[in-house]
Chains A and B, each alone.
Chain A
Amino acid sequence: MKTNDFTLFSELYTCYYQVVAKILEESMRRPLTRRQIEYLARAYGCDESVLAVVPRLIQGDWPFLKQDKSPSGAYSSALKNPPFPQPLTRLQKSWLKALIPDPRIRLFFTDEQLKELESYLSDAAPLFRSQDFFLFDQYRDCDPFSSVMYREHMHAIMDAVCQRRFLNISYLSQKENILTRTWLPCRLEYGQRDGKFRLYAMALCKNGRQRIDLLNTARILSVKKTDVIFPSPVDVDSFLDHTGCTQPLILEISTKRNALERALLHFSCYQKKVERMENSNTYRCTIYYDKRWETELLIQVLSFGPVVKVLGPESFLQQVRDRVKKQALLTADAL
């Protein structure tokens, strides 16, 4: 089986199928009014999907709903079986198969489960080969994905995240102190740049307040399960909202040396706004960033040199000025 006959852009994955499946799933539980169907189409489709999906379902062009004879005229599914889960396509299996050689896959499965997965995918050809890719500027100190201890910690963390179970964790801090605390693992963040997992974990303070800590999973020394389960999901984003910058970074980007294209692509992972400055051949880029990563952003800005100029905020600008002055002094000393 050759891999080049895959069609990536296929009707099989269209969002309308997903919207219809959601409506059918719901209509199997209880008959739905037109308004409820429209609500579901808006919730699971795109902004205008409701205009295309709902009339076709109601009018029977897509013959999946039957209308009650009751005065409410509600609609229920004409199908016998729930639409989820669906069997995987050949493309989906091939994508899964391509993941098998990745050392990170072992963080999710036991050896037995991995064997079972390989057996399930035995007739699929991998969609891609990891050896064909090279992340040429990835940092050298990636997490030790093949370490037995690291794998055990990740398994325990992922179980705890899913079960909302508190863990007793011993952690080697950046300052080389060993901290032993009880944390509730909430979310894992992966950075492709440094190849590291970071764990967002909630700690309960003595005064009863909740706090989110960020732990480098590779610095975790030991993990022990507790019997304590947190009753409800933790909204990590609401904690992170407080770490956003109070004033965005404002950059002036020149068009020299293809700087505009380079900078906008470079900063595309941030929430940003770009404006064309009339009569100056420059662009103003406003970047909303997380204060925790300010130094990293500062380094990125410096790497562009004079083609990207910081206009504000003052605190950020001052840091750039300090570095440039320090550099001027170093250069003068060296001469």
Chain B
Amino acid sequence: MSQYKELIKQFDKIRSYVRDFYIYGFKTRQDFREKSGRTYDNQRRRMESWFSDYIRTDQNGHKKSVFLTLDSSRMAVNPLYQAWKSKTFTDNDISLRFLLSDLLADGRLRSLETIADEIQEIYGCLFDTQTIRRKLSLYEKEGFVVRKKQGKQYLYTRAAPLPQSHPDLFPALILAVSFFQGIAPFGFVGSTILDFWNEKNKYFRFRNDYLIHTLEDEILLPVLNAMEQKRWIRITVKSTKSGRTRTLTVLPVKILTSTQTGRRYVCAMHGHTGRFSSFRLDSVQSAALLEHDNAYDACMESFQKILPQVWGVSFGSLQAQKPESVFMEIQFDEKEEAFILTRLQREGRGGSLKRLAPGLYEYSRLCTDAKELLPWAKSFTGRIRAFHCSNPAVEKRFWDDMHKMQACYMAEGEVNRYEDK
């Protein structure tokens, strides 16, 4: 039985655990059946250690749920970044990381043999030159170390840290990194820059921030590389609804991010059908790059053509057919409730807005899949005078929901009274 360690070897092993602890929170040990109970215990212990400030427990009879809860708008740095800072290492890794950095900090060029000798002489540590060479090679690749050729041998020195090489830039860069680590893709990389400079984000906070996206970054990187290199990818997708896993070959064209629902998708063209679909990044288990596609630009062109008619991420089941049309009449007090007009304008995603009468506006839009627009339409509950859709099933769903809402929140007599009216 291997001993428990706070650090881990592979990121994908903990991805689903962090997600379950953070998003769901109600799951108990019995709900984690995919792996053994001991694996769950170890992962739970890690979560408790990594996120100790935000971990809570709830006891229901004999069942205990452990969950992660926090207000993202109060966070200076996404606590889930901790998962990225939990990679195991060896004693040699850490020793050479600090010793080489310290030895080479004076800017002098040294040969491999001199480095090995000085490490022994100054720090009293003996490493074979092969180990040091491998580390120097890694650090050179990473940019820590600079290698120069002098005569027949290579000499090494440490790269100058940015605060020393660019002192005028440094204060502004701290602010920029503090900001972008919270909002840019791969934000955890920004937080490691603050770590390297021994700095903190003191001045920025992020409202409605979906912290969970960071867990998808290991999948996001190969997908972005495929897009840049115009290549196909093979993805393994595990459905969040059914749990079923399938493998697909697709051509990725865009990362579609929702700022309101917390979801992030990769939009891609299917190999067989030539149709576009969106896959939630949190459901993609793996992504492998395949061959280059010479027709990538044409695919991108079709995507850009269809995109204005997509409300969210659904391209509809029948992409060859006509888009669906939605009409909605919104009634409000133009003087007292001008913010409703503002909402229609800024949230309407390119839909048309027409003033039918004082305080009555018609919003209309074409959609590849009008069902996607329903949550937004329902957010105007209390002001919707009419709702029509060319897809009768969508229109029916809308009115059914409105009736169910009445049944939920109004007394039976009240509902009848309104219906009689």
- Taking Cβ atoms with an 8 Å cutoff, the residues of A that contact B are 2-4, 6, 8-18, 20-22, 24-25, 46-49, 51-52, 56, 61-64, 78-81, 83-93, 95-96, 98-99, 102, 104-105, 108-110, 113, 116-117, 120, 127-129, 132-141, 158, 161-162, 187-194, 198, 233, 237, 240, 258, 261-262, 264-266, 268-276, 283, 288, 290, 299-300, 302-306, 309-310, 317, 320-334
Q: Which of B52, B169, B186 contacts A120 (CB 8 A)?
A: B169
Chain B residues 377 to 417 lying within 8 A of chain A, measured CB to CB, are: 378-379, 381-386, 401-402, 404-410, 414-415
Q: Which of A47, A86, A133 contacts B257 (CB 8 A)?
A: A133
By a CB distance below 8 angstroms, the chain A residues around B363 are none
By a CB distance below 8 angstroms, the chain A residues around B310 are 136
Min CB distance B98 to A, Å, is 6
- Report yes or no: A79 in contact with B102, Cβ–Cβ below 8 A: yes
- Report yes or no: A271 in contact with B89, Cβ–Cβ below 8 A: no
Total A-B pairs in contact (CB under 8 Å)? Answer: 417
Q: Are A113 and B172 CB-contacts (below 8 A) given A136-B313, A328-B415?
A: yes
Min CB distance A51 to B, Å, is 8
Of A110, A237, A324, A325, which is in contact with the most chain B CB atoms at under 10 Å from its CB? A324
- Report yes or no: B184 in contact with A20, Cβ–Cβ below 8 A: no
- Report yes or no: A189 in contact with B73, Cβ–Cβ below 8 A: yes
Measured CB to CB, the nearest residue on chain A to B411 is A321
By a CB distance below 8 angstroms, the chain B residues around A304 are 375, 378
Q: Which of B23, B97, B102, B188 contacts A265 (CB 8 A)?
A: B23
**Besides A95-B189, A276-B60, 13 new A-B residue pairs in contact (Cβ under 8 A), listed by A number:** A3-B224, A24-B98, A79-B99, A83-B98, A116-B168, A137-B347, A190-B206, A191-B208, A192-B209, A193-B260, A272-B69, A324-B409, A327-B383
Measured CB to CB, the nearest residue on chain A to B5 is A52
- Report yes or no: B84 in contact with A13, Cβ–Cβ below 8 A: yes
Min CB distance A264 to B, Å, is 5
Q: Are A305 and B125 CB-contacts (below 8 A) given A88-B143, A128-B224?
A: no
B34 at the interface (CB under 8 A from A): no
Min CB distance B312 to A, Å, is 6
B345 at the interface (CB under 8 A from A): yes
Q: Which of A52, A265, A269 contacts B72 (CB 8 A)?
A: A269
By a CB distance below 8 angstroms, the chain A residues around B415 are 328
By a CB distance below 8 angstroms, the chain A residues around B58 are 273, 275
- Report yes or no: B210 in contact with A132, Cβ–Cβ below 8 A: no
Q: Are A108 and B105 CB-contacts (below 8 A) given A8-B221, A13-B195, A309-B408?
A: no
Q: Are A117 and B169 CB-contacts (below 8 A) given A136-B313, A188-B203?
A: yes
B274 at the interface (CB under 8 A from A): no
- Report yes or no: A324 in contact with B383, Cβ–Cβ below 8 A: no
By a CB distance below 8 angstroms, the chain B residues around A191 are 206-208
By a CB distance below 8 angstroms, the chain A residues around B101 are 81, 83, 86
- Report yes or no: B405 in contact with A306, Cβ–Cβ below 8 A: yes
- Report yes or no: A283 in contact with B376, Cβ–Cβ below 8 A: no
C-alpha spacing A308/B289, complex, angstroms:
40
Which of B148-156, B157-165, B317-325 interfaces with chain A? B157-165
- Report yes or no: A10 in contact with B87, Cβ–Cβ below 8 A: yes
Min CB distance A161 to B, Å, is 5
Measured CB to CB, the nearest residue on chain B to A233 is B202
Measured CB to CB, the nearest residue on chain A to B98 is A64
Q: Which of A264, A270, A325 contacts B71 (CB 8 A)?
A: A270
B293 at the interface (CB under 8 A from A): no
Min CB distance A297 to B, Å, is 10
B294 at the interface (CB under 8 A from A): no
By a CB distance below 8 angstroms, the chain A residues around B385 are 330, 333-334
Q: Which of A16, A49, A78, A325 contacts B123 (CB 8 A)?
A: A78
- Report yes or no: A127 in contact with B186, Cβ–Cβ below 8 A: yes
Task: Give 1 or 0 for each of B41-70: 1 = CB within 8 Å of chain A CB.
Answer: 000010011101000101010000001011
B358 at the interface (CB under 8 A from A): no
By a CB distance below 8 angstroms, the chain A residues around B217 are 8
- Report yes or no: A85 in contact with B196, Cβ–Cβ below 8 A: yes
- Report yes or no: A46 in contact with B123, Cβ–Cβ below 8 A: no
- Report yes or no: A324 in contact with B222, Cβ–Cβ below 8 A: no
Q: Are A305 and B405 CB-contacts (below 8 A) given A102-B184, A120-B166, A136-B313?
A: yes
- Report yes or no: B25 in contact with A158, Cβ–Cβ below 8 A: no
Min CB distance B182 to A, Å, is 7
- Report yes or no: B175 in contact with A20, Cβ–Cβ below 8 A: no
- Report yes or no: B87 in contact with A9, Cβ–Cβ below 8 A: yes
Measured CB to CB, the nearest residue on chain A to B312 is A136
C-alpha spacing A328/B408, complex, angstroms:
12
- Report yes or no: A274 in contact with B26, Cβ–Cβ below 8 A: yes
Min CB distance B383 to A, Å, is 7
- Report yes or no: A56 in contact with B91, Cβ–Cβ below 8 A: yes
- Report yes or no: B204 in contact with A303, Cβ–Cβ below 8 A: no
Q: Which of A87, A95, A275, A303 contacts B159 (CB 8 A)?
A: A87
By a CB distance below 8 angstroms, the chain B residues around A9 are 10-11, 84, 87, 218
Of B97, B172, B407, B418, which is in contact with the most chain A CB atoms at under 10 Å from its CB? B172
Min CB distance B97 to A, Å, is 6
Chain B residues 245 to 260 lying within 8 A of chain A, measured CB to CB, are: 254-260
C-alpha spacing A307/B413, complex, angstroms:
22
Task: Give 1 or 0 for each of B69-95: 1 = CB within 8 Å of chain A CB.
Answer: 111111000000010111111010111
- Report yes or no: A117 in contact with B173, Cβ–Cβ below 8 A: yes
Q: Are A91 and B161 CB-contacts (below 8 A) given A3-B225, A274-B26?
A: no
B368 at the interface (CB under 8 A from A): no
Q: Are A276 and B259 CB-contacts (below 8 A) given A15-B86, A261-B240, A321-B410?
A: no
Q: Are A17 and B94 CB-contacts (below 8 A) given A47-B48, A87-B144?
A: yes
Of A15, A61, A273, which is in contact with the most chain B CB atoms at under 10 Å from its CB? A15
Min CB distance A123 to B, Å, is 9
Q: Which of B24, B69, B192, B384 contacts A327 (CB 8 A)?
A: B384
B349 at the interface (CB under 8 A from A): yes
Min CB distance A79 to B, Å, is 4
Measured CB to CB, the nearest residue on chain A to B313 is A136
A-B pairs with beta carbons under 8 Å apart, 17 shown: A9-B87, A14-B86, A79-B102, A81-B106, A86-B196, A87-B158, A87-B160, A93-B143, A116-B169, A120-B162, A129-B228, A134-B254, A191-B206, A191-B208, A269-B73, A274-B26, A330-B382
